[in-house]
Structure formats: C-alpha cells, structure tokens
Structure 1
Amino acid sequence: MSSAAAAPPQQQKVRDALHFPAADAAALEPYLPPLSLSSSTDPHRPRRHRPFVTLTFATSLDSALSLAPGTQTALSGPASKAMTHHLRSRHAAILVGAGTAVADDPSLNCRIAGVGGYGGSVDEPLRGQPRPVVVDPRARWDWGGGEGSNKPLAKVL
C-alpha cells in the first residue's frame, strides 16, 4: 500500500477544475442565455419561450471529427476546453449522439471552478451541472455505468 494518500474526491475535482478568463466570458455573454430567465433586463434580449441551443464541435485541419470511426481523438487545446466548459455552465443540458458516447465515454459535466462538484457545494454536488442527454435509438450506450456512472441520467425510451 502506498504511503501517499489519494486526494479526496472533492479535492481531486477542484484540482482538475478549469478556469475561463473573465474577459473571454464577457465577450461571449451576448450570445448566451441569461443566467436567470426572469432576471434578463436587457431590452435587446427579449424573453424566450423556446429552448436556447448552442452547437459546439471540434474538427481537425482536414475537417475530421476523429482519426477513425469509434476512436477517441483529442482535437482541442486547453483554452478551447475551458471555453466549452464555460458554455456548459450556462446551459441546462448537453446533448451528444450514441457514437460519441460509445467512443469517448464523455463525462458530460462542467469542470469550471465553482460549478457543482468542482469547488461548489459539497451538499449539492450537481447544482449548476448540465443534464446529460444521449440520443441513442438503438441502445448502444451503457447509460448506467462507466466513467459517467455518477451522472444524473434518466433513461428515455
């Protein structure tokens, strides 16, 4: 047994937390949903009665999404990853297809410091975390296991 104790889960998550510069967050603000639907006082941002959807993806220089079908491929760097997680902090859900879920087993969470279990409330570890949604019409993804076993998933048929 090693003499070096593993960090408690809460400390580990904080150490892995991402930080997104405030100036960059301010530049994205006009394109994001209001922090609270009832608190938007900006007359140029009318209240919406439809979902607010943001599409993000990464591609290689040759427009590939991965090296090969079903292969996990890192395509973005630290700054892009931090921006993606900032966007996740401002949305209620993250939608991925079954192919992504099977190939990558994504954590489908937000790792921005202070959101949910990443430096947020220990009592409410999922507060502020987006809801994972996996489109899987052929039931290929194990929605109850793997790295994401602590995800707040609901199976929808």
Structure 2
Amino acid sequence: MKQPVFYIVLASALSLTACNKPAPATATVAPATTNGPAVSTLTDPGAGALCDGKNLRISHDNSSQVIDGECGDVTVTASNGSLNVSKARSITVEGRQFTVLNEQVDTVRVVGSDNVLNLTNARRIDISGNNNMILVNETAEVSFSGTGNTVNASSEPRIEDSGTGNRVI
C-alpha cells in the first residue's frame, strides 16, 4: 500500500513543478544598485523585441536585430552583425565588424575594431578601438584613444585625440 501513495505524491510533485515555468532566457535581472532599483536586461532577444527602458545585450555573432522602444544601456559584444535601436541611454560596441543604427543616444563607446555606427544625435562619442567609422548628424564631443578611426559629423564637436591617425571630417 505504501507504493501507490508514493506514486501519488510523486505525480503531485511533478504536476506542481510543471506549473512553475522558468523565466525566459532573454530576460535577466541585474543586481540592485545604490542609484535605484534593479534594471532588467534583454539578452539576445528576437527581432522586434520591445526594450521598454530595459538594458540590452547583444552577444551572438552574425546576428541582425531591430529593437523597438527606448533602451537603457546597450552593450554589443558580438561580431559580424547589425543592430537598429532608436533610443538608448548609452551604446557600447566591443565586437568587430558590427553595424549600429541609432537615432538618439547620450554616450557612445566603441572599444572594438572595424565597426560602423550611423547615429543621428549622440552627445558624446569615445573611441578606443581601431579602424571604426562613425557617421553622426549631431554630437558635442568626440574622444579618440585608438588608431585609424573616422568620424563624419555634420556638427563641429569638441575633439580630444590621444590616439594616432584619427580624423573628423
């Protein structure tokens, strides 16, 4: 008689476990900071995902993403791909041969090499990687510490250049 009770308890436990669905793989929660509550991070979401103030991380090589809504901090560690994100607090590109399209961002950091960024408005651009091309309509500041980078700006930004072979046209 103990055997049927065991199977009933086991079946009940399995049915309860099946009801508890894990969080989707594309959403993680960053630890809380002293500046405010924890911020969710979308990691490698599907095309057409909604940022909705969340941070965004793109880590899959050879990917192409179009992300809707306003993002927090965007980090691209992938190579050989593209990202189109309308608005973001910041964008950091660490990969190689990646293309980023963006309309509005406060700060851009390009650490990787051979990337192309097409920006409309970026307050500050910091480039420590090599051989990157940044097209920007409006920017207030450009800082170079890498080599062989080009910024094509419609505005006349303040320039700091501690690298070599960099230019603003």
- Verify same fold: TM over 0.5: no
Q: Which one scores higher on RCO, CA 8 angstroms, separation ≥ 6?
A: 1
TM-score, with normalisation over the residues of structure 1?
A: 0.29
Greater Rg, structure 1 or structure 2? 2
Greater percentage in strand: 2
